[in-house]
Structure 1
Amino acid sequence: MSIPVVKIDTDGITDWDSFHDTFARVLEFPDYYGRNMNAWIDCVSDRDAAFVLQLDNAKSFRSRCPEIYTAVIECSAFSNWRDVESGGEPVVFLAFAD
């Protein structure tokens, strides 16, 4: 089974607004997306199938936006934990590319 890869070019992410803009566009979050990490977790968990979230230019993203970089990792893990705790399967798998 092949898991689709969703690539996020992190070069355009410089703050929380640009983070939410980028992820909402690429992951096609619904119009009611709340633009916070709780809403991000909900939207990721609501996806129908597992996917690899590939963060391109990850090293510069981590240096430029360490709080946001860490939030993506922690919230991805939380989303997967919540899915497993409710009897489901993990949905998001992270990959880092530079």
Structure 2
Amino acid sequence: MSEDPTGRLVVALDLDGITDKAGLMDRAARALALPDWFGRNWDALADSLGDPSVWPKDAAGRGLLLVVVGWRSYAEARPEEWRIAREVFAQASQRTPALTVALALGGSS
């Protein structure tokens, strides 16, 4: 985790090697330090992204920039799931001004 020039906490969601929804949910739970009760489904991900109270503590009052890296293999393996994931990211960002989700076009490192 780091900070961007605007002071937001930057968290990388590294999907390198992930080819299914369960893997995406596990990586999201780890990257965002989501609570044990995180439901590991699309609605739970949307709710968690849109709720600053469950974000990492360093994001409180600063905002969160979630950078999704290494996503291409998942997108190719599960295009319909990836479409849903992108919708979840976009809707959460629209609903929650303190959240920005960016898809990195480069590699995962």
Q: What TM-score results when the alignment is normalised by the length of structure 1?
A: 0.77
The 5-angstrom pairing of residues 13-92 of structure 1 reads: 13-47=18-52, 48=60, 49-83=62-96, 89-92=97-100
What amino acid is the match of 1:14?
T
- Equivalent residue for 2:105? 97
Q: What TM-score results when the alignment is normalised by the length of structure 2?
A: 0.70
**CA–CA distance in structure 2, aligned partners of residues 97 and 45 of structure 1:** 24
Residue 90 of structure 1 and its aligned partner are, at CA, apart by 4.3
Residue 15 of structure 1 and its aligned partner are, at CA, apart by 0.9
CA RMSD, Structure 1 to Structure 2 (Å): 1.9
- Identity across aligned pairs (percent)? 29
- Equivalent residue for 1:2? 7
The answer to whether the 8 Å contact 2:19/2:73 transfers is no
**CA–CA distance in structure 2, aligned partners of residues 56 and 82 of structure 1:** 22
What amino acid is the match of 2:99?
V
Which residues of structure 2 form unaligned runs of 5+? 1-5, 53-59
State the aligned residue count.
93
Which residues of structure 1 form unaligned runs of 5+? 84-88
Give the structure with the larger helix fraction. 1
